[in-house]
Structure 1
Amino acid sequence: MSAGTKRLLVIGHDYLATSGAIEGRFAERGYEVESIRVVPSDRFDDPGVDVDFPDPRDYDAVLVLGARWGVDGDEVASWVKPELELLHTADEADVPVLGICFGGQMLAQAHGGSVGRSPVPEIGPHVVSGEPAVAGIWTQWHYDRFVPPADATVIGVNAAAPQAFVLRRNLAVQFHPEVDADSVAAWMADGGAADARDQGLDPDVLLDHIRSLDDDIRVRAAALADYFLDVVAVGR
């Protein structure tokens, strides 16, 4: 790990990826943030890019964000494999990793769990039960779900899917603590409105609901980042 200024590597996978209040809390805690985007905007229709990922051992923590593609998709195999190797390297070096949605699924896949189609897609705010750091209403947007590794500790669940697990210095969450109404509005404009309607949801009502939660979510997202840094990252 680095000496002096703490460094956070943020791995985003598409142009809609945002780290929002989670990244903000890392910055407040003294982290210098370095971000990479895996798939350029001109390759979204052909996302099988070759990526030279940074060495996670050069950082004090890694944040892996969501993605529009599935972990097992053939179209993204060119970069999913090296990203899984990055997660293995981070784990072996005790570099803490926080994975969100697709990022959480990647942690499951990397460490002996699995990812599969969820029988109940979750679009919009849904309740999560579990440890105080993850319990409450969070915005969701997923069709797949992870099966945690056998040696992981599940700390969050709901009826649709496992929602959070801890494994050594890794924290995986299925929900999106980093997003607010503005970021979801961008998702809506990029096909998300159709996703919502397919689930019988009114996009405008859904967005209003998410906006009503924004202030509370920002506070709880900061608390979740604190839990990651103060409990998971130090191996408590």
Structure 2
Amino acid sequence: MRVHYLQHVPYEPPAAIADWARERGHDLTGTLLYDDEPLPDPDEFDVLVVLGGPMGVYDDAEYPHLDAERELIRTVHDDGTPILGVCLGAQLLAAALGAEVYPHERSEIGWFPVEATDAAAGSPLAPLGEAFTALHWHGDTYDLPEGATQLARTDACEQQAFVVGNSLGLQFHLESTPESLAALVDAAGELGDGEYVQSEAELLTDDAPYEACREGLYAVLDRLMASA
């Protein structure tokens, strides 16, 4: 299979998603939007991964590629090609399908538990079980697109995952590695305060569940690929 990712900033790479693609023998290519690389043609891939980033979904004035990116996502979704949207990628997926994306009342940054909805049991998210811990790093949230099913929530933010057709949006990060998270923390600088904002030490703890997230990510992606 041909897996293509859209990367918005240097410090939010595909990380464990790239490891999964290599280990499964898939062809992996990417578009570095921060280097002004052109968006791919939908015929060039079998699965699209839209990664995270610090910008907002509608920051088109500063990031002109966002409008074309939403259009590409909408076209790929309508064609039935599987899509995985991660954090900003999930928000772009929601926006491309007509839902509202907006600042949340609180930021969520850190390793926090996620509760799966009953509907998750029959979705690509099923391998993660009823509850799991994942990395969160967002200040925006979204409404569910028309026809989408909510798959997960947290105490801080109701909308954490959804599926619609062959498209899956994850507000949280399963793909993070110690190296990719260290780069993100370094790029972010001051994290600020908040009930759901962890310190740098808490974020970079050696006890973070990287391996469990990796195993869950691989299982989720395998399920998503089955629809390709």
Aligned runs of 1:24-43 on 2, under 5 Å? 24-40=19-35
2:216 corresponds to 1:217: no
**When the two structures are aligned, how many residues end up with a matched partner?**
215
Q: Which runs of 5+ in 1 are unaligned?
A: 1-5, 41-48
Does structure 2 retain, via aligned residues, the 8 Å contact 1:116–1:144?
yes
Alpha-carbon offset, residue 64 of structure 1? 0.5
Does structure 1 retain, via aligned residues, the 8 Å contact 2:57–2:66?
yes
The CA RMSD over aligned residues, in Å, is 1.8
Give the alignment partner of residue 157 of structure 1, picking from 149, 153, 160. 153
Which deviates further from its counterpart, 167-176 or 178-187? 178-187
Alpha-carbon offset, residue 57 of structure 1? 2.3
Equivalent position of 1:78 in the other structure? 64
**What TM-score, normalized to structure 1?**
0.84
Does structure 2 retain, via aligned residues, the 8 Å contact 1:8–1:60?
yes
**What TM-score, normalized to structure 2?**
0.87
2:202 corresponds to 1:208: no
1:89-145, Cα deviation, whole Å (9 max, x unpaired)? 212222111100000000000012121111121101111111334541100100001
Q: Which runs of 5+ in 2 are unaligned?
A: 121-125
- Greater helix share, 1 or 2? 1
Identity %: 29
Give the alignment partner of residue 135 of structure 2, picking from 135, 139, 157. 139
Q: What SS is found at the alignment partner of 2:28?
A: strand
CA distance in 1, matches of 2:11, 2:24: 25
2:51 corresponds to 1:22: no
Alpha-carbon offset, residue 77 of structure 1? 4.7
Equivalent position of 2:164 in the other structure? 167
C-alpha spacing 1:82/1:74, structure 2 compared with 1 (3 Å): closer
Give the alignment partner of residue 43 of structure 2, picking from 42, 57, 63. 57
- For 1:223, the aligned partner's letter is A
- For 1:217, the aligned partner's letter is C
- For 1:116, the aligned partner's letter is Y
Give the alignment partner of residue 118 of structure 1, picking from 76, 97, 104. 104
Moved over 4 A (4+): none
CA distance in 2, matches of 1:171, 1:185: 26
